[in-house]
Structure 1
């Protein structure tokens, strides 16, 4: 990247090393609090991503789920040279969008959060198949949980997304032990719901500004590495339920990462959209065992 290394980048990159021992112990949150002070260079770099025609790097495709739901999606494939040099199958990254991108035009989901994966520097550093599906109805719905705080549960479109993941695993030369799900807002909530719906399917998740599942479901996914990022001034998806989920995961023996941005509202921090640090952590995660899938 052209802009300078930020404090957030350094902190999240350092987590990749510190979490190895934390996960061996379990039962604690690896927590960081960062001031929300986006640098002018971060804003400029993000603006360049928003304006760049990177959507064209994601090939438009469509999937029909077993329930009949049609899921438009975009697929970013690794560079040819990267595939030729790879000694093993590559990761699969599922990028889930927020509610503002609901539709079926196969374009609206391509925000900077998704498009950034096609930046040449990130694409070379993190070779993977990156999938950005678009849903026509909500992928996560919200209601009060058992503790009185807001909780998410799978929306009508989440089963189709999970079916798409299974279909891609059967057709693409990906590593079933390195399937990752990331998301923002509704997509972040759906990412955590997906962990609960299919324990052991995803190697890790990164959720930006999520409403998490009911806290009594945390025990089912305590062994899955997760990173949650949330602004403490978020009035759209409140901060407290998300932090309560991290506490519940830790209480169940997990060791989630929780990054609190002090003074930030409902957004993905501009520096983290472009930063390699959290992607390094994500790509370091691997399932100990993964269900086999047929060769494409």
Structure 2
């Protein structure tokens, strides 16, 4: 009984500690006219508003949508709380949250009789309400005196990976580099972000978003793009973000890029 009690106490302590760590992400919101979006933001340790810092926007997947301004921290947020990461890469990290009634990317989603989702990515088209608000929020951050405009990055997983491609093509002159995990896009849109260094990840056994989407984008970018890296995890399903966020070279690669 003592061992069981001790195990429960340790588990509770870990959960409590994680929750406390995530509280280091300040709560914020951007509201302007009809555009409204919640976000969590992590500032570098010993933040100095007179200095300029890189900024990274991380877009969550569909399961973390909402208005609680909390669920979007489920995947990836703990990476940026690690002491060594904070020391090596003093950057501003922003996790915006997409409301349930919207979607990061302009994509038509249908389901077959077995419940499998099919994604049809739109070429061009108007941004969703969430993407429109996100774009304005990003532009607002770029006005801040402490943001280094030469080091602006975006990355995302699943719906957020799709949103990453969309944000890149809608604001192609903004970002120095990006990463997309288990996402997808219409390959006709690639020409709009082909000059932005991009690292693409996908699970080979993904049964939610077909890895063929990432493969097609990577192959096209290898022909016309400036710089593309593609990592396929053969045995990973849709949660390939676990492996991607564990890549030791992801952040060194990302933050090494500066916009020309």
Asked whether the two chains share a fold, i.e. TM above 0.5, the reply is yes
Matched residue, 1:177 = 150
Q: Report the equivalent of 2:92.
A: 129
Asked if residue 120 in structure 1 is aligned to residue 83 in structure 2, the reply is yes
Equivalent residue in structure 2 for 1:63, among 5, 25, 30: 30
Checking the alignment, whether the CA contact within 8 Å between 1:183 and 1:206 is kept in structure 2 is yes
Task: State the TM-score, normalized to the length of structure 1.
Answer: 0.72
Q: Deviations over 1:84-108 (max 9, x none)?
A: 9x9x621000011101111111011
Q: Which has the larger radius of gyration?
A: 2
Of the three residues 70, 73, 77, the one matched with 2:39 is 73
Aligned with 2:249 (options 255, 277, 280): 277
Deviations 1:135-178 (A, max 9, x none): 1121114249xxx9843564331111111111111125011011
Root mean square deviation, CA, Å: 2.4
Aligned to 2:4: none
1:152/1:211 contact within 8 Å kept: no
Instruction: Figure out how many residues of one structure are paired with residues of the other and give that number.
Output: 233
CA offset digits 1:180-236 (Å, max 9, x no partner): 001010011101111111111111110110022x11121221110000000111111
Q: Which has the higher contact order (CA 8 A, sep 6+)?
A: 1
Q: Secondary structure at the match of 2:180?
A: strand
Normalising by structure 2, report the TM-score.
Answer: 0.82
Matched, 1:286 2:258: yes
Structure 2 distance, partners of 1:229, 1:155, is 24
Unaligned runs of 5+ in 1: 1-47, 289-296
